[in-house]
Chains A and B, each alone.
Chain A
Amino acid sequence: MAATETPLQGETIETIYEKGAPGRRAFVAPELDVPQVDGLLPDELRRAEGPRLPELSEPEIVRHYVRLSKRNFDLDSGFYPLGSCTMKHNPRLHERVAALPGHARLHPFQHPKRAQGALELMWNLERALGEISGLPHVSLQPSAGSHGELAGVLLAKAYHADRGETRTKVLTPDTAHGTNPATVTMAGLEVVKVGTNADGGVDLDDLRAKAGEDVACLMLTNPNTLGVFDANIEEIARIVHDVGAVLYYDGANLNAIMGITRPGDMGFDIVHFNLHKSFTQPHGGGGPGSGPIAVSERMEPYLMNPRIVRDDDGSFDLRDVSEKSIGRLRGFQGNYGCFVRSYAYIRSLGAEGLKDASVSAVLNANYLLARLGDVAEHLPLAYGRLCMHEFVLSGAPMKRELGIKTLDLAKRLLDHGYHPPTVYFPLLVDEALLIEPTETETRETLDGFADAIKTILAEAAEDPEIARTAPHTTPVRRLDEAGAAKRPVIRQPM
């Protein structure tokens, strides 16, 4: 259902704390079936008054959250071309298999002998990710892409430390995801930015000037956030390796190259995957995700503990295998529920299907780009002629000539029933609009989206005020974000 059809427009919704009545309840506690003993918890350790949680019946709770759900735009209802997020279809098979009690009700401390199915699944997923990335050693532990990045940078740090070297700098292109520099700081290293050349790739001269003996690694995604595959990647790898540094692959854009080329073959030492992107997880309004990493032979000793091992009798175990390991990044084995889904996806598609997914994603992106060629005078492609699975338009001419910003265009798209693309990222493109259609959209959908953009631009030529005040049909209109940050109200007052 498009946002234009919502029955809830204009409705003000109370929070759950403003509903219900004292004494109402949904939960009935099981009977106290053991003899009651007083004084088990001394008064000084006891809570004087229960927490002020809501008091509602089950029907009220259901109705409240179902009404809230209707105030969300979702992928199952409409086109969601949010660049760099890979909002591809979420197969429902995945929800069914993840909910099987043998997966969903399996305790993480269950003895490995009694979790052989889970460990085999994880083992198979590790092998598949190793093959897809061209880097054979995999840890599934990280909880999200950014968590995988932290693992990767700590791995690079441990690798250098083990060789008796202290390297303090990490190079990141100015096109990098914001998580890359944030991760570097968390890992106690210093960010050094590398420029972008006219083709949208890494500026090799700048890279050569900055690549020194103090560099721990270069973090790169290829294709990058401009939708450009950096054809100089072999030279980049040479420059980085010549100074003894490690090459790190941000796997956020892996959806463009599965079965076509591999980070390991390009010379990368470490890669993180975003299972929630390339290998389909429902994005859940911002998680859960999963960010496994794969590494080359020389990085393997530093991988996180514990690892899955296959013993001579064919059985699987979980063991700490390396004394040089950076340790552990979270509790238990990682987001297993996500592994089940991505493993099902890889089994469904197989080698051929994964490649077809990437080819189709790139075809869809280039087709949409071609369809938007008609409006290139207002929204030109920022770099190149062809793109990979996503592309960046600049709204600068549109802003100058039609008087509407990229944000206005995005908000007006909401009135047409589309989720807008990513706006104002990557940072080096003025008025950036980053569009990623993914392989699961039909040609008709792409045509409809292109037509909507044309309609909005034509409308803006007549009356830019319509876009400037958009959206007009959503449950709420433009929100005061500055006010929210100035006087933060982040909880319901009781």
Chain B
Amino acid sequence: MSTYTAITDADREAMLAAIGLADTDELFAAIPAALRLGRPLDLPPGQPEQDVYAHLRELAARNVSAEDEITFLGGGMYDHYVPALIDMLMSRSEFLTPYTPYQPEVSQGGLQVMFEYQTAISELTALPVANASVYEGPSALASAGYLAKLVNGRPRLVVSAGVHPHAIETLRTYAQGFGAEVVEVALRDGATDLDAWRAAIDDETGAVFFANPNFLGAVEDAEALAAAAGGGTGDERSRPVVIASYDPITLGILKPPGECGVDVCVGEGQPLGNRLDFGGPSFGFFAATEAYLRRMPGRIAGETVDADGRRGFVLTLQTREQHIRREKATSNICTAQALNALGGVVYLAWLGRRGIVELGELLLQRTHYAREALCAIDGVEPLHRRPVIREFAVTLPEWAPVDDVVERCAAEGVNPGLALPEHNGLLVAITEQRSRADIDRLAAVLADAVAEQAGKREMTGASNGRH
């Protein structure tokens, strides 16, 4: 079957003769006989390309994608439009198929992309230094926790409950490793409870973490949260590191973390020109104040000159990295997400200076409109009244269980958003792909679904009455 190899029988004979062996089995003489598998792997036989395509297509057809329904799913990844030029550029062999630019003379394209990407992330976040991407949002946040460990070594990490639940779980997993305790601060009215936040921060606190907008869509008071930990001031080793996770699509209109006292800004890059891919691959971004430059995880590209004095780019500050520093490295990250970061920087160039602001304004207006439309439904209430930019949470009446409501909407071809079972609520995400007509349809379908549950309750009540 298709093996993507090109060794003919004649090649094999000639190659074995050159090596001085009679048989390919002799190549594996070092493997003890008892360890040889001695049977074929228990896998289906190989298939021709067209059969594999048909099988993969059949599997795809059993998923309900954003192509198949009007979806308001968000919660960390969003169905933004991916412009055609991104597909074209990301699929070019020269970007798609090389490896990490270990030989800069023949990797100038990729290195310059990294440099441009770092610049774009610095501009978005208003923080002076950025790396050339890390795996994805939640692990970027956890890596920032490890950075705090390297900076001040304090054992407590204070995290707002508004941080994405996957990021909190990831932080807890990483913290098991580097030895820190994670303390969660609850939300009040949808935003981080500032009094509890202040009370939780003490001399043992190595870092504080919040998200903006937070998991429930609320825009936080970033300056107040950062100030409580002394962010952006004084000696960074003698106070907690202020780490915030931002949705990059909101940074056209939201006050940037670098102007709010945030020391390290991380986040999920997927909204920037990357597809959903059932959760990945995408990229994480990581930006910081100058003080953290030499302790950041991952790759960094830098500008330099060649032997003729021409401008060029290289991987730089590699003495932080695992291939040089081994156990003294500032992270173990080797391969990161360069191709996905390319999608990010092309997307930002496509949006441009005005586009990212216009997109932010559009989302702000439509999100507000959607919240109003949904909360006009009898029994549906906003989960909080904080400002929202691209996502908001509502609660459903207690007699309309969220899972049943979601099911009913899905049957109408509308995915109303992410169920929040603990609130009997919904997290509803808006992108530029969800028009007013889509939002109106969501409101109509949701109203019917909720009303139907009310009807069921009455029927059940009536039936109970008869017994």
Whether the pair B279, A410 counts as a contact (CB closer than 8 A) is no
Whether the pair A261, B36 counts as a contact (CB closer than 8 A) is yes
Nearest-Cβ distance from residue A47 to partner chain B, whole angstroms: 5
Whether the pair A489, B329 counts as a contact (CB closer than 8 A) is no
Nearest-Cβ distance from residue A353 to partner chain B, whole angstroms: 4
Q: Which of B4, B128, B255, B362 contacts A32 (CB 8 A)?
A: B362
CA distance A108 to B71 in the complex (A): 12
Judge if B96 is at the interface, Cβ distance under 8 Å. yes
Number of B positions contacting A (CB below 8 A): 209
Judge if B423 is at the interface, Cβ distance under 8 Å. no
User: CB-CB contacts of A288-327 with B at 8 A, as 1s and 0s?
Assistant: 1110000000000000100000000000000000000011
CA distance A228 to B29 in the complex (A): 11
Q: Given A288-B281, A288-B339, A331-B166, answer yes or no on A116-B63 (Cβ-Cβ < 8 Å).
A: yes
Q: Given A287-B337, A332-B279, A471-B105, answer yes or no on A480-B305 (Cβ-Cβ < 8 Å).
A: yes
User: CB-CB contacts of A160-198 with B at 8 A, as 1s and 0s?
Assistant: 000000000000000001110111111110010000000
User: CB-CB contacts of B77-102 with A at 8 A, as 1s and 0s?
Assistant: 10100010101110111111111111
Judge if A137 is at the interface, Cβ distance under 8 Å. no
Whether the pair A488, B124 counts as a contact (CB closer than 8 A) is no
Whether the pair A476, B280 counts as a contact (CB closer than 8 A) is no
Judge if B300 is at the interface, Cβ distance under 8 Å. yes
CA distance A89 to B97 in the complex (A): 9
Judge if A278 is at the interface, Cβ distance under 8 Å. no
Q: Which of A69-77, A239-247, A394-402 contacts B (4 or more CB under 8 A)?
A: A69-77
CA distance A476 to B130 in the complex (A): 25
Judge if B192 is at the interface, Cβ distance under 8 Å. no
Residues of B within 8 A of A304 (CB): 173
Residues of B within 8 A of A233 (CB): 32, 35
CA distance A117 to B42 in the complex (A): 22
| A 100-130 contacts with B by CB, 8 A | 100-111, 114-118, 120-121, 128
Judge if A238 is at the interface, Cβ distance under 8 Å. no
| A 412-427 contacts with B by CB, 8 A | 414, 419-420, 422, 425
CA distance A395 to B15 in the complex (A): 25
CA distance A153 to B55 in the complex (A): 36
| B 99-157 contacts with A by CB, 8 A | 99-110, 112-113, 115-116, 118-120, 122-124, 126, 128-130, 132-133, 135-139, 146
CA distance A24 to B439 in the complex (A): 31
Residue pairs across A and B with CB atoms within 8 Å: the count is 717
Residues of A within 8 A of B333 (CB): 144, 146-147
Nearest-Cβ distance from residue B102 to partner chain A, whole angstroms: 7
Nearest-Cβ distance from residue A67 to partner chain B, whole angstroms: 8
Whether the pair B352, A333 counts as a contact (CB closer than 8 A) is no
CA distance A469 to B306 in the complex (A): 11
CA distance A422 to B100 in the complex (A): 11
Q: Which of B32, B256, B308, B335 contacts A146 (CB 8 A)?
A: B335
Query: Nearest CB to that of B25 among chain A residues?
Result: A359
Query: Nearest CB to that of B146 among chain A residues?
Result: A186
Judge if B462 is at the interface, Cβ distance under 8 Å. no
Whether the pair B281, A338 counts as a contact (CB closer than 8 A) is yes
Nearest-Cβ distance from residue B323 to partner chain A, whole angstroms: 4
Whether the pair A333, B116 counts as a contact (CB closer than 8 A) is no
Nearest-Cβ distance from residue A317 to partner chain B, whole angstroms: 14
Judge if B365 is at the interface, Cβ distance under 8 Å. yes
Q: Given A47-B252, A332-B279, answer yes or no on A55-B354 (Cβ-Cβ < 8 Å).
A: yes
Residues of A within 8 A of B46 (CB): 347-353
Q: Which of A44, A68, A70 contacts B113 (CB 8 A)?
A: A68
CA distance A361 to B41 in the complex (A): 18
CA distance A112 to B352 in the complex (A): 37
Whether the pair B278, A351 counts as a contact (CB closer than 8 A) is no
Residues of B within 8 A of A354 (CB): 41, 43
Q: Which of A73, A109, A276 contacts B107 (CB 8 A)?
A: A73
CA distance A422 to B293 in the complex (A): 27
Nearest-Cβ distance from residue B386 to partner chain A, whole angstroms: 10
Judge if A249 is at the interface, Cβ distance under 8 Å. no
CA distance A132 to B100 in the complex (A): 27
Residues of A within 8 A of B397 (CB): none
User: CB-CB contacts of A42-70 with B at 8 A, as 1s and 0s?
Assistant: 10111110111111101001101110111
Q: Which of B176-184, B197-205, B227-235, B449-457 contacts A (4 or more CB under 8 A)?
A: B176-184
Q: Which of A10, A154, A353 contacts B176 (CB 8 A)?
A: A154
Whether the pair A13, B112 counts as a contact (CB closer than 8 A) is yes
Q: Which of B28, B66, B100, B316 contacts A286 (CB 8 A)?
A: B100
CA distance A153 to B95 in the complex (A): 33
Whether the pair A355, B40 counts as a contact (CB closer than 8 A) is yes
Judge if B238 is at the interface, Cβ distance under 8 Å. no
Q: Which of B103, B293, B332 contacts A149 (CB 8 A)?
A: B332
Judge if A461 is at the interface, Cβ distance under 8 Å. no
Residues of A within 8 A of B104 (CB): 476, 479, 481
Residues of B within 8 A of A146 (CB): 322, 332-335
Nearest-Cβ distance from residue B432 to partner chain A, whole angstroms: 5
Residues of B within 8 A of A76 (CB): 93-94, 96-97
Whether the pair A35, B32 counts as a contact (CB closer than 8 A) is no
Judge if A209 is at the interface, Cβ distance under 8 Å. no
- Specify which of A32, A132, A186, A304 lies most central, judged by the most chain B CB atoms within 10 Å of its CB: A186
CA distance A219 to B219 in the complex (A): 45
Residues of B within 8 A of A45 (CB): 219, 221-222, 254-255, 387
Nearest-Cβ distance from residue B428 to partner chain A, whole angstroms: 12
Query: Nearest CB to that of B340 among chain A residues?
Result: A288
| B 36-95 contacts with A by CB, 8 A | 36-37, 40-47, 49, 52-53, 55-68, 71, 73-77, 79, 83, 85, 87-89, 91-95
- Specify which of B252, B314, B346, B349 lies most central, judged by the most chain A CB atoms within 10 Å of its CB: B349
Whether the pair B328, A62 counts as a contact (CB closer than 8 A) is no
- Specify which of B77, B135, B178 lies most central, judged by the most chain A CB atoms within 10 Å of its CB: B135
Q: Given A103-B63, A106-B278, A120-B62, answer yes or no on A73-B98 (Cβ-Cβ < 8 Å).
A: yes
| A 80-95 contacts with B by CB, 8 A | 80, 82, 85, 87-91, 93, 95
Judge if B239 is at the interface, Cβ distance under 8 Å. no
CA distance A57 to B320 in the complex (A): 38
Whether the pair B35, A327 counts as a contact (CB closer than 8 A) is no
Whether the pair A490, B326 counts as a contact (CB closer than 8 A) is no
Q: Which of B99, B280, B324 contacts A335 (CB 8 A)?
A: B280
Query: Nearest CB to that of A6 among chain B residues?
Result: B106
CA distance A178 to B31 in the complex (A): 26
26 contacts between A and B (CB under 8 A): A41-B364, A46-B254, A53-B120, A75-B93, A105-B65, A107-B66, A109-B73, A179-B322, A182-B325, A182-B327, A286-B100, A287-B339, A328-B166, A328-B173, A329-B170, A330-B138, A330-B280, A331-B280, A348-B47, A349-B46, A351-B42, A352-B46, A353-B1, A441-B6, A481-B104, A484-B316
Known contacts A45-B254, A154-B176, A485-B302, then 11 further A-B pairs from the complex at CB < 8 Å, ordered by chain A residue: A10-B310, A74-B97, A104-B276, A109-B73, A121-B59, A188-B179, A331-B164, A333-B278, A350-B1, A364-B15, A414-B103
User: Which are the 7 A-B pairs with shortest beta-carbon distances?
Assistant: A102-B60, A332-B279, A284-B339, A350-B46, A108-B279, A117-B62, A288-B281
